[in-house]
Amino acid sequence: MKGILVLLAGFALLGVGLEALGLAAGEEHHGGFWNFIPLWDFAFGFVGAAILGLVARGLLKPLLARSEDWYDAAEGDR
């Protein structure tokens, strides 16, 4: 679990660094006001992915969870 968190933190730092380099290069933004907020794309994507993961976990966990005696229970007990 710790390795996954370290990997996610590494990707997050890489994304922030790449976004900062894109802003430092003078990249022009067109569109809404959110395009002028530094690191907005990164933050929006990260928060959106986190929410999507939590919602999917909340919806799928009850469907996939089995009681401890699932395989030991008789066929009619399920």
CA distance 26 to 29: 9
pLDDT, position 25:
59
pTM of the model: 0.47
pLDDT digits (tens, 9 = 90+) for 8-41: 888 888 878 877 776 655 556 567 777 778 888 8
User: Structure tokens of 61?
Assistant: 């966990």
Residue the block writes with tokens 């996610």:
8
